[in-house]
Amino acid sequence: MLALVLCLAPAPAGAVRIKDISSVEGIRGNQIIGYGLVVGLNGTGDKKNTEFTVRSLTSLLAKMGIGVDANRVKVKNVAAVMVTSSLPAFARVGARIDAVVSSVGDATSLEGGTLLVTPLFGTDSQIYAIAQGPLSVGGFSVGGGGGSSVQKNHPTVGRIASGVTVERELGFALEGKTEFEVALGTPDFTTARRAVEAINGHFETPVAEALDYGTLRVTVPDSHVGDVVGFMAEVETIEVHPDVAARVVLNERTGTVVMGANVRISTVAVAHGSLSVTIGVVREASQPAPFAQGKTVVVQNDFPAAVEEAANLSVVEGPVTIAELVQGLNAMGVTPRDLIAILQAIKASGALSAQLELM
């Protein structure tokens, strides 16, 4: 079991594309959100005491010229929802994107529902898109008359495929730009230097420089003036060898241990054993003495015993690699949960040259 867990550790970092380890400043998705109503539910909507759903439905009907008494409105086929989506950087007016619809009331399922027209706002309170359409729910909830029920996944969350229409474009354009800032996903001085060297080597001219350990500035060369898209397409496909810090990730809840390829352990002696305590219980009948006019009773006798497993002191000669460590710990019969305790003790002793991260 231990070998299977540790074999998931990554091999030494190979060449990856710059686009896979970085992002360009300003080119990203923008979150938009809106509040709306889902109708057409089969009795699985919000309850009558969900006040904001009743008010929303009453207000909607009033705008359509239908006056109703809020106290007589039933919303079991209606659910109040929050609609969220991500507006791409270069989305144009009329483009279609997806949206996620989530119940905010006490509806039990959104299955079969249709979202009514819902404006989606940005953080600047401006409307950027309009959402509407039937929901696709990847789950269900079925209840019986006796109170029993069966549920799969989350039926109170649905998705509208291509149900959002972009109404306002973001103010970002590539035209006229002569330089870009590229942010590394995992800031690192070594990776930044290698990326600069790879970009400059590809274009055979100093077009890139590292501003800090996580940001690169890339300048469009004269050979690509007027072709910014082509230039950035070349930049993002350049391969670089990112540097990886030595790290050990431990999850004590599941017993999972993941170790990076750069983890090193100095010479250290390890002894690991466990103490098992068992208590045996024997029930016996206690008879009274003759003519004592007593009663026969059952007496419980406890017999505690402690057994400590033998644990030999093993010396791990350092420095060792991840493969050598796995081989040595497998020979000791160490389980993943035991390994967590061992690694924590080795780190405390100063023999583990890696970051220890607990999840």
**pLDDT tens by residue, 33-57:** 999 999 999 999 998 888 899 899 9
Largest CA distance in the chain: 117
**pLDDT at site 137:** 87
Tokens of 106: 């006490």
Alpha helices in the chain (DSSP H): 2-6, 51-63, 189-203, 228-237, 322-331, 336-349
Distance CA 339, CA 9 (A): 15
The secondary structure element, H or E, covering residue 249 is strand 247-251
Distance CA 322, CA 259 (A): 7
Helix, strand, coil distribution of the chain in percent, nearest 5: 20, 35, 40
User: Residue 89, Cβ neighbours under 10 Å: how many?
Assistant: 14
Q: Rounded mean pLDDT of 232-257?
A: 86
pLDDT in tens, 218-234: 999 988 888 899 999 99
Tokens of 37: 């109503």
Q: With CA atoms as reference, report the closest residue to 269 among 210, 351, 201.
A: 351
Q: Rounded mean pLDDT of 78-91?
A: 94
Mean pLDDT of all residues belonging to the chain? 80
Label residue 226 left, alpha or beta by phi (over 0 means left) and psi (-120 to 50 means alpha): left
Token pair 């249709």 in the structure block, residue: 114
Cβ within 8 Å of residue 98, ≥6 positions away: 85, 159, 160, 161, 162, 163, 164
Tokens of 349: 């002793």
Distance CA 203, CA 270 (A): 53
Token pair 């970051």 in the structure block, residue: 355
DSSP state at residue 205: S
Lowest-pLDDT range of 39-48, 149-158, 281-290:
281-290
Q: In this prediction, what percent of the chain has a pLDDT beyond 90? A: 40
* pLDDT higher than 80, residue 9: no
More confident residue, 130 or 14: 130
Q: What is the DSSP string of 295-316?
A: --EEEEEEEEEEEE-----EEE
Domain 173-240 annotated CATH 3.30.1360: yes
Break the chain into its structural domains and give their ranges: 1-14+245-288+296-359, 30-166, 173-240
Lowest-pLDDT range of 12-21, 137-146, 167-176, 200-209:
137-146
Q: Which pLDDT band, with edges at 50, 70 and 90, does 255 fall under? A: confident
The answer to whether 158 and 114 have CB atoms below 8 angstroms apart is no
pLDDT in tens, 324-354: 766 666 676 677 777 777 778 878 877 777 8
- pTM summary value: 0.67
* pLDDT higher than 60, residue 169: yes
Q: In this prediction, what percent of the chain has a pLDDT beyond 70? A: 74
Distance CA 96, CA 136 (A): 16
